[in-house]
Amino acid sequence: MPRRSRSRERSATRAVPAPEPRDSELSRHLLRAQEEERKRISRELHDAAGQGLMVLRLFLGSVAGENARPDLRDRIQEAIAMVDRTIGDLRRLIARLSPRTLEEMGLVAAIRKEARELSKSTGMQAQLNLPTDLRELDDEIEIAVYRAVQEALNNIAKHSHAKSFSIQLEANPEQVRLRVEDDGIGFSGNSRTRAFGLFGMRERIAVLGGTVRVRTRHGKGTQILVTVPLARRQKSAAAKSHSLTNAIKADVHYSHVH
């Protein structure tokens, strides 16, 4: 049994072959299109469904105040409460699709908000170690790191049964490092639901030349470590400005969970 457990732990950090440069460029283009589509959908949800629900709530409130019978008034109040819950759910969905906090206040504030909402909804204790003076990052890097935090916290909320979690973010001239940990039950490599979510995270980070590594053991929690290089992206941008026809070759290694 111990030998099998060690084998599982080793498999959690095994590297897989890097995508070809052309595949990376295609993936980057698809991810940009995905973000634009998310913004479009969030705007439509806000303008159509959101406004419609607000009008419905106002209408129900006016009906409840028009000397309705007590039993009817109670049912209307129940309907208003349901509409309020739906509006709250819709606002959270819109925020996840196109996070205004990230656009207006930056990466650190957006991470704090995600952690605060998870703690509020689950009762988990959060420990944050975030920089107070994070350097300005490329939009693609900020979005990728933020989406990684979202996916990691979503996994914690749905699957971990944890009592606490922690988020650490640090940046230097060479790279950005994100670490998300929980003290939950961990998971095996056969957990397709969690592995599928991690696949999207790896894809987004890999096209930036970064890595995602997952360490987990049954009953021992889970740790996700994301690393995105900065110096490589600066050099790549300089190379592209000199010649658009030169291909940029970068080795990308990221973890694979079995």
Tens of pLDDT, residue by residue, the chain (258 residues): 444 444 444 444 433 344 454 456 666 667 677 767 777 887 788 788 888 889 998 888 888 777 667 778 888 888 999 999 998 888 878 777 777 778 888 999 999 999 999 999 899 999 999 998 888 888 889 999 999 999 999 999 988 899 999 999 999 999 999 999 999 998 765 555 566 668 888 888 988 899 999 998 888 899 999 999 986 555 444 444 443 334 433 333 333 344
The residue among 131, 151, 145, 108 whose CA lies nearest residue 230 is 145
d(CA 129, CA 121): 21
Torsion, CA 189, CA 144, CA 253, CA 15, rounded to 10: -10
CA distance 204 to 178: 14
Phi (first) and psi of residue 194, to 5 degrees? -70, -40
- Cβ proximity of 118 and 167 under 8 Å: no
Domains of the chain: 2-20+106-256 (3.30.565.10)
* Tally of CB atoms within 10 A around 7: 10
Token couple for 190? 């056969």
